[in-house]
A and B are shown apart, each in its own frame.
Chain A
Amino acid sequence: MTTGTSTTAADEIPLVLQDLKKHLQSSHGDDDNLFDKSATAMPVAAIKALLGVVERSQATTMMEMQNELKQASDCMMNAATTSTDGRSHSIAVRSGCELFLKYVTRTFLEELPDFEQCRQAVLTRGERFAGISLAARDRIADLASDFIQEGQTVLTHGWSRVVASILLQAASTKHFDIVILEGRPDAAGARAAQFYSQRAKIPTTVVLDSAMGYIMDTVDIVLVGAEGVVENGGIVNKMGTNALATCAQANGKPFYVAAESYKFARLYPLLQRDIPNVGNIPMQFCDTTTNTTKEKETSFAPVDLSSDKVKVENPPCDYTPPKFITLLFTDLGVLTPSAVSDELIRLYQ
């Protein structure tokens, strides 16, 4: 039995990752795929890749199937933790995989006793996952856009498709403006600013990440996305989110998080180092400039820290505890942080 799976497993391990990559790509194939709102989120892509595993699997019992799925998920999670594109995908992959594994187990336990029939049922339903990302985002945009009032100023951090949907929908009926933190080291915020300003025509201001305390007086609400939502209602998101949330609370501003429900992960971090992080990415900055002169040289000379005398710590994500979060906008509704654990308990009981 094990040899059977191992030979197929040897083929499948790279196949799973290929699948994952395929699902992540936007169907438009734009260069601009950052802005493609129809692109799939990581957890959904992971779920779809696992569906592929189910499809190709030659297991005949539930135990075998579970093993294969487990192997595939571990493989994907490993790949996610070693990725170096500056974003942490491990939580996103993890939440998607766990959700799918749970679903498969439930189906087998509750539905039809026949293995093959179950498998077919799983696959058929899986077809529908195509629409989940989009529908989830739309639902969240509907719920959340009411929280932005006419004339307010919204502060956001990093690039998130969900947040973009919300802001676009709100902009279609009201006037408000946006302040974005520039978003070192990948200048994700500056890129997002271009999108909001040019494509969506929302008045946008970019400030340095370190200016969040300075600007906090003048904003009305803070809205961010999340890479993952952990069990106590806290979130894992781009580095700087924790500081932003602390600052917002100290100034009495509401801090909102927009996340689809398949990002809920079974993690209970207590300290920053408890989150599964990529580790250290080499610190390398993407230039953002408002200098309109055409010369190539900037006014600041680059600083080279590549010699090993100076220690550099540059993890991509941090953990924001639930006490700083006012509300979470999810496709299950508007939830308080305590409601997140409620959902997870009900699913995994």
Chain B
Amino acid sequence: MTTEGDQQKAAAAAESKKEKKKPEGLVIPPKKPKLSKAERRALQEQQRAAKAAAKQQPEPPKGAADPQNEPGKQNATKNDAGSAGKDDAARDAVQDKSDQKTVSLFSHLPPYRDPKSVVETGPHLWPKGVSLPSTTFPLHPAVIELGYQYAKGEIRGGNARCRAMLAAFHQVIGDFEPPTNNGGLTDMRHQIDQWILKPSFQYWTASCRPHSVTMGNAFTFLKTAVASLERDMTRDDMVEMIQETIDAYIRERIDLAKQAIAQQPALQLSTTSTTTTNNNNPQVFLTYGKSEAIAAIFRNMAASDQHSSSSFRVIIVDSRPLLEGKDLLLELRASGIECSYVLLNALTYVMRDVTKVYLGASALMSDGGVLGRVGTACVALSAHMHHIPVLVCCESYKISNRVQLESITGNELGDPSQVAMTTNASSSDDDDNNNNNGALKDWLETDNLRLLNLLYDLTPSEFVSGIVTELGIIPPTSVAVLLREMNPQN
């Protein structure tokens, strides 16, 4: 271990110590102040009144909202979603057709929203359900642009989406000016919360794309951080403080955490062979899709490899339609790592040579289950049946206190027409149907045929040998413990 590594390790250790110590530091949200009984009763009344008021609020103007809602109600849409607003009959016909295309198994999930519907019909300018004069706070353009990027799928992956969200908030809060007409809200903290944070998040989630666990966790953190600021700060101080909080979160819980994971001692290349019957073959690692933490791990291994990268090679397994593994392939090749690239069908064929499997995650459930890109569970299962250890690498901020038993309950539906495409395009082109000359290009007109494009799946904790976080390696059963340690006020 070099001294640099030592320093970083010490920094990470110090960081983790800092995290364990409550309640200092901007990283861990401070404890909520304990309320007396009367105060709690008053707060409850206030919330109940706010709910009742929201219900009686007149609906915002129908014109802008309607076409957007309708495709939203049903499943997959055609390109001419905008034409649904033309006349009732056409709209009904579209609805009937779309009804047939819903997969009943997944009808509890919000249906896929065509990104064009977000653009053509224009975004909300008035956040819904918020009690304020409608002229005061439209959504910031950065929020709208980010929403569009989410809907189009230009930003994918837990870390990327979270970073983008926090960057957007950073910018928006920087532009915040307390208005003269404040509609009754005098506390700047409440203003920021009600007029910036909440509407933006709602807009993204309800109109663009359901939020990821990382976004959810970061958002909760930010809200709590804002709420715990002192009441009587100036606007500039408050803005600066919030921006610093955001930066620290990104720096420590995403970027530094990634580095700390890559430098976990158990993930370094071991140099000895075990028994006399084993040859000194290079180790073979297998990974699926793309993950920032995994890329960091391999780059770190390559950098520290004394045999100039001949001690290990990496097999990248990829799958349609997103083919995210190609990006990882380019990144690893740039570091000089010997790579193989296969699709999911070759999984069994390559699995026999593999030493260890490294997988990334979108979120960790509190029972140790891993929510990841769809296909992760297949890889973990295959490795498990071949008695190969599986390591899931993810930063600790991805831990969610939800529990999910299988992949169907909490999932996300993607664009079904991507299933029909037979060209291996990695991202959806503007004109999907022009590229598609496969057997299913008429799937919309074919009766009895439905396409299902899932985005996530759940890997049960039995398939996972260990979870690597910046705090160390833990067995899947200990995730709940970690959650408790990190969120002391819950």
Contact = CB atoms under 8 A, between A and B. Distances in A.
A–B: direct contact at CB < 8 Å: yes
Interface of A: 153, 177, 179, 205, 215, 218-219, 251-252
Contact of A215 (B275, B385, B386): B275
B387 A251 contact: yes
Nearest to A252: B387
Contact of A218 (B275, B385, B386, B387): B275
A34 B358 CA distance: 50
A177 B387 contact: no
Contacts of A153: 277
A205 B387 contact: no
Interface in B375-434: 385-387
B377 to A, nearest CB: 20
B277 A179 contact: yes
Interface residues of B, number: 8
A177 B277 contact: yes
7 contacts: A153-B277, A205-B276, A215-B275, A215-B277, A219-B277, A252-B385, A252-B386
A145 B385 CA distance: 27
A233 to B, nearest CB: 24
Nearest to B274: A218
Contacts of B274: 218
A247 B274 CA distance: 19
Interface string B32-55: 000000000000000000000000
Interface string B257-300: 00000000000000000111110000000000000000000000
A179 B277 CA distance: 9
Tell me if A's interface is mostly helix, strand, loop or mixed: mixed
Contacts of A215: 275, 277
B56 to A, nearest CB: 64
Nearest to B275: A218
Nearest to A219: B277
The 7 A-B residue pairs with the shortest CB-CB distance in the complex, in nearest-first order: A252-B387, A218-B277, A153-B277, A218-B275, A218-B278, A251-B387, A205-B277
Contacts of A252: 385-387
A153 B277 CA distance: 8
Nearest to B276: A205
Contacts of A205: 275-277
Nearest to B388: A252
Nearest to B279: A151
Contacts of B278: 218
Contacts of B277: 153, 177, 179, 205, 215, 218-219
Nearest to B278: A218
Contacts of B275: 205, 215, 218
B478 to A, nearest CB: 24
Contacts of B385: 252
B280 to A, nearest CB: 13
A219 B278 CA distance: 9
A16 B275 CA distance: 50
Best-surrounded residue of B274, B275, B277 (most CB of chain A within 10 A): B277
Contacts of A251: 387
B279 to A, nearest CB: 9
Nearest to A155: B277
A179 B274 CA distance: 15
A80 to B, nearest CB: 38
A153 B279 CA distance: 12
Contacts of B276: 205
A218 B355 CA distance: 12
Nearest to B385: A252
Given A177-B277, A218-B274, A252-B386, 13 more contacts: A153-B277, A179-B277, A205-B275, A205-B276, A215-B275, A215-B277, A218-B275, A218-B277, A218-B278, A219-B277, A251-B387, A252-B385, A252-B387
A312 B275 CA distance: 34
Contacts of A179: 277
Nearest to B386: A252
A289 B274 CA distance: 23
A164 to B, nearest CB: 20
A219 B385 CA distance: 17
A60 B366 CA distance: 83
B369 to A, nearest CB: 24
A213 to B, nearest CB: 13
Nearest to A151: B279
Contacts of B386: 252
A71 to B, nearest CB: 52
A322 B278 CA distance: 30
A219 B276 CA distance: 11
B275 to A, nearest CB: 5
Task: Select the residue from B275, B278, B386, B387 with max chain A CB neighbours within 10 A.
Answer: B275
A153 B275 CA distance: 12
A254 to B, nearest CB: 13
A179 B387 CA distance: 21
A177 B278 CA distance: 11
Contacts of A219: 277
A310 to B, nearest CB: 35
A52 to B, nearest CB: 48
A131 B332 CA distance: 63
B274 to A, nearest CB: 7
A179 B278 CA distance: 12
A153 B274 CA distance: 15
Contacts of B387: 251-252
B278 to A, nearest CB: 6
A218 B279 CA distance: 10
B388 to A, nearest CB: 10
A252 B383 CA distance: 12
A229 B419 CA distance: 54
Interface in B79-103: none
A324 to B, nearest CB: 16
Contacts of A218: 274-275, 277-278
B455 to A, nearest CB: 32
A205 B278 CA distance: 12
B276 to A, nearest CB: 6
A252 B382 CA distance: 13
Nearest to A253: B387
Nearest to A153: B277
A197 to B, nearest CB: 13
A251 B388 CA distance: 10
A124 B84 CA distance: 96
A14 B53 CA distance: 108
A215 B276 CA distance: 10
A252 B385 CA distance: 8
A250 to B, nearest CB: 9
A23 to B, nearest CB: 40
A238 B387 CA distance: 28
Nearest to B387: A252
Nearest to A250: B387
A219 to B, nearest CB: 8
A348 B334 CA distance: 70
A278 to B, nearest CB: 34
B277 to A, nearest CB: 5
B352 to A, nearest CB: 10
